Structure 1
Amino acid sequence: MRIVVLGSGVVGVTSAWYLAQAGHSVVVLDRQPEPALETSYGNAGQISPGYSAPWAAPGVPLKAMKWLVQDLAPLRISPRLDATMLTWLGRMLSNCTHDAYARNKARMLRVAEYSRDCLVELRQEIGIEYDNRAQGLIQLFRSEKQQAASANDIKILQSCGVDYQPLERDELFQYEPALRHVADKLVGGLRLPGDETGDCFLFTQALAERCKSLGVEFRFNTNIESLELEKGRVIGANTDQGLVKGDACLVALGSYSPALLAPLGIKLPIYPVKGFSLTIPITDPDRAPESTVMDETYKVAVSRLGDRIRVGGTAELTGFDLSTPQSRRANVEHVVNDLFGGSGDPSQSELWTGLRPMTPDGTPILGETRYPGLFLNTGHGTLGWTMSLGSARYVSDLISQRTPVISAEGLSVSRYTRAQQNVRLARA
């Protein structure tokens, strides 16, 4: 079959790879001049299946209220009236129950663990390099309250068979020696040894070149305008350079997916959550992180990518605003200076922002739709890099009419339709 993939971020390129591997003719469309120039460009660098969890969790509404008034807050919400944002927030808050959290985290772990296995297999198969390290991730606790709260996540990790390692403060230094310099600020951590670190941009660019060797065609500088229907079936995408036909279309446009699908009556509950990162050249390797640490207090990740440190985090609900005010630099810069001070030169850093396509339940939207020939691979939130290969292989198997390795339960867009039906029945 001829498959049209919309989007050349890490999700789109990995999808193209697996589709081409399955024997399909693939064309990838993107408005940018090359792959991975939007959300895949400067993310935190963590490949963290063990840390995969929905934002919607018990206690989050109260935390969010506190974050809105604290200095260096992980969350900022635009004061403007945005009906789409308010609706999305309402749906997210409805998922802040213990049952919903456990269900959604288990779904995310299913995709993320599979994705990590796919990445290991791909790396062994083609020897791709992307400043990768497989030394685990440490969720860092600055208070005993944070450490105690991790017990709930540990239960879910256990139920899903995910390897983990609780760490007391002195045990942290075995894996991250530089943290000895700030021992008095820490109480312990949770290590996820199966997690990895790597540069998503380098990976996506390298894999795109491998895709070309399999015959994948990339059409850059191409604006996607709408999907083309014929007798109820999607047969291609209309662009500013004409109609690009295919036997199937795969939408991998992240935060821009809802606008493309809305005219077809498909309402994706995806909202763009703006995040920031700093990329800092290392000046003292002994004071730099060995892999990735996630500061639980500030919700900021610090990763080592070759001779650079990538610091990523914070969340802004501001629509599609891509401005990079210097005031937001303080959030991510504070964490790297506080934990790994002297490791790099912040004056030489690159500040970047991207829009993370978040669903209200944290799980991406994968697979078929009610339209023949139309498939989705979108809504990965902050975990696009983590879930990319597993999502791509799963959707490729569906398109190829193969039985996927992982369960399809709760992954398609139909879960939202069912949820709405259940609400209507309850009200009746």
Structure 2
Amino acid sequence: MTILVLGAGAVGIATAWYLKKHGHDVTVIERQPEAALETSWGNGGVIHASEVEPWSQPGMPMKIVKWLGKENAPLLLRYGSIPHMWRWGLDFARNCTPERFAFNARANLELALYSLRSLQEIAAETQIAYDRATNGVMKIYRSKEALDGAERSCVALARHGLLYERVDVARALDLEPALKDTSPTLAGGLFFKRDEVGDCNKFTQGLAAQCAKLGVRFHYSTEIQRIETAGDKITGVITSVGRIAADQAVVALASYTTPLLKPLGIRIPIYPVKGLSITFARGNWGSAPRMPVIDDSRLFGLVPIGDRMRISGSAEITGFDTQPAMPRAEAVIANASYTFPELPRHLDLATARIWAGLRPVSPAGTPIIGATSLKGLWVNAGHGHLGWTLACGSGRALADIISGKRPEITLPPPQGAVAA
């Protein structure tokens, strides 16, 4: 069976890997000259079951309204985007009930744990070097109320496999000495021992190379113009280098999945939310954190990735704009510098990489994985802030479905015109 995978990000390449393992004839089409150069390039770097809660949660719609127009807001909705996203926004609000939020968080957790195991198996088989670290993740809180609230969510998810440890300030410092300077402001933290770190770009490019060794074909620097159909089934894809015939195709184009499928009458409810990261050399910062630190009150993450440090944060709803906004970058750096006062001495903006990418967010906050109304056309997109975390499990589960096998896990419920 000839299958096209549209998109060479982490999700697309993982899908291609597992499809090839099932014995299919696989071709990947990607507009960039290499794999993982867009959303998969500069994400936070953490593979974490600790961050599976959707953004569609109780109270979030009112917070977004309150944050309108505030450049330092954690989630900034630009006024110009409102007319283009009203339907998505209504679906988002419907998912903000306590019941829907809890259900969607559990679905993400099941997929995240499965995906972590799948990633570890791929890494063991291929020996890809991607700056993997297994020191866990620390989340810090500056009030007992915030810490108690976060632990309540962990308790609910612990029944479904989440591992966590509530730590006091002394234990937090023992696990992560870099918190010394901010320790007087802390109420405690949550430590997630099972979470890992890795460079998503390095892993995805390494896995693409392994796919090529197995016989997967790649068409890089190739624009996907439209999907060709005959009746109710797909027959191929029209690209900037011509037509490519196929029996089946998987659309793994993150936020760009929606506009590609819209002309076919297939509604995929994904909206792009711009995230931002600043990557810089660790250099001689000997006291830098040894594990990712996620600051609940300042809403940033500082993550060691190999010989680099990466600050991630910010969520901006502004359409398909991928230009980093300096006021947003400066706000993230200021927040990180509050927690880590030594950071400004080691962060040189002249050599740092300030990057922005589009998180493909669904209203439920769960990925959209499954068949469309067109025979042979599948979707694997909408992973939001969890693309790196959920990539391998999503690719594995969809490859099983396409191959006529029952996935090992229950996938999140369908959204839009996709059936799981």
Q: State the TM bucket, normalised to the shorter chain.
A: over 0.9
- Aligned-pair CA distance for 1:82: 3.6
State the AA in 2 paired with 1:345.
Answer: L
Question: Which one is further off, 365-374 or 282-291?
Answer: 282-291
Per the alignment, residue 116 of structure 2 pairs with 116
- Give the equivalent residue in structure 1 for 2:370: 367
Structure 2 CA distance, aligned partners of 1:227 and 1:289? Answer: 47
Flag the 1:319–1:416 CA change in 2: closer, same or farther, 3 A. Answer: farther
Indicate whether 1:130 and 2:142 are aligned: no
Instruction: Report how far residue 407 of structure 1 moved.
Output: 1.3
Task: State which drifts further: 65-74 or 278-287.
Answer: 65-74
Offset at residue 81 of structure 1 (A): 5.4
User: 2:247 & 2:170 partners in 1: Cα distance?
Assistant: 57
Q: Deviations over 1:154-203 (max 9, x none)?
A: 23222212111111122111221100121112211111111111111111
User: In 1, distance between residues paired with 2:335 and 2:224?
Assistant: 39
Aligned alpha-carbon RMSD (Å): 1.8
Equivalent residue runs for 1:359-398 within 5 Å: 359-398=362-401
Written as runs of structure 1 = structure 2, the 5 A alignment for 1:18-417 is 18-68=18-68, 72-80=72-80, 82-343=82-343, 344-347=346-349, 348-408=351-411, 410-411=413-414, 413=416
Match of 1:420 in 2: none
Contact conserved, 1:366 with 1:413, CA < 8 A, in 2?
no
Indicate if the aligned counterparts of 1:235 and 1:249 stay in contact, CA closer than 8 A: no
Q: Which is further off, 301-310 or 84-93? A: 84-93
Aligned match of 1:423: none
**Contact (CA 8 Å) 1:363, 1:411: kept in 2 or not?**
no
Contact map agreement 1:72 1:298 (CA 8 A) in 2 = no
8 A Cα contact 2:130 2:202, kept in partner = yes
Offset at 1:66?
A: 4.3
Give the whole-Å Cα distance in 1 for the aligned partners of 2:142 and 2:386: 24
1:369–1:413 contact (8 Å) kept in structure 2: no
Shift of 1:250: 0.2
1:328 deviates by 1.5
Whichever residue aligns with residue 391 of structure 1, its letter is S
In structure 2, give the amino acid aligned to 1:338. Y
Q: 1:409, 1:93 → 2: CA distance? A: 18
Q: State the shift of 1:281 in Å.
A: 1.0
Aligned residue for 1:222, secondary structure, equals coil
Residue 224 of structure 1 aligns with an amino acid whose one-letter code is I
Counterpart of 2:320 in structure 1: which amino acid?
F
Tell me the SS of whatever aligns to 2:80.
coil
Match of 1:114, SS state, is helix
For residues 205 and 81 of structure 1, the distance between their equivalents in structure 2, rounded to whole angstroms, comes to 33
Q: State how far apart, in whole Å, the 2-side matches of 1:189 and 1:415 are.
A: 39
The 3-state SS of whatever aligns with 2:286 is: helix
Q: Structure 1 stretch 249-258 or stretch 166-175: which is displaced more?
A: 166-175
**Runs of 5+ consecutive residues of structure 1 not aligned to the other structure:** 418-428
Q: Secondary structure at the match of 1:334?
A: helix
| Cα distance change, pair 111–19 in 1 and its aligned pair in 2 (3 A) | same
- Kept after mapping to 1: 8 A contact 2:81/2:318: no
What's the secondary structure of 2:238's corresponding residue?
strand
Q: Is contact 1:50–1:157 with CA below 8 Å preserved after alignment?
A: no
SS of the counterpart of 2:157? helix
Structure 1 segments, 4+ long, off by >6 Å, are none
Q: 1:421: which partner in 2?
A: none
- Residue identity matched to 1:346: D
Listed one character per residue, the Cα deviations across residues 55-111 of structure 1 (whole Å, up to 9, x for unaligned) are 011122343344447673212111225433222222212211110111110111111
Instruction: Give the % identical residues.
Output: 39
Count the aligned residue pairs.
417
Q: What letter is aligned with 2:109?
A: L
- In structure 2, the CA distance between the partners of 1:345 and 1:46, relative to structure 1 (3 Å rule), is same
Q: Which structure 2 segments of 5+ residues have no match? A: none
Equivalent pair of 2:379/2:418 in contact (CA under 8 Å): no
CA shift, 1:416, in A, is: 8.9
Distance between the aligned counterparts of 1:197 and 1:39, measured in 2? 17
| Counterparts in 2 of 1:292 and 1:2: CA distance versus 1, 3 Å | same
SS at structure 2 position matched to 1:403: coil
Instruction: Give the match for residue 2 of structure 2.
Output: 2
Structure 1 pair 349–75 and aligned structure 2 pair: CA distance change class (3 A)? same
Conserved in 2, the CA contact under 8 Å of 1:237 and 1:245?
Answer: yes
Determine if contact 1:135/1:193 at 8 Å carries over to the other structure. yes
CA–CA distance in 2 between the matches of 1:81 and 1:126? Answer: 43
Cα distance, 1:286 vs structure 2? 3.2
Q: Which moved more, 1:333-342 or 1:378-387?
A: 333-342
Q: Deviations over 1:12-60 (max 9, x none)?
A: 1111111111111111001111111111111111111222110011122
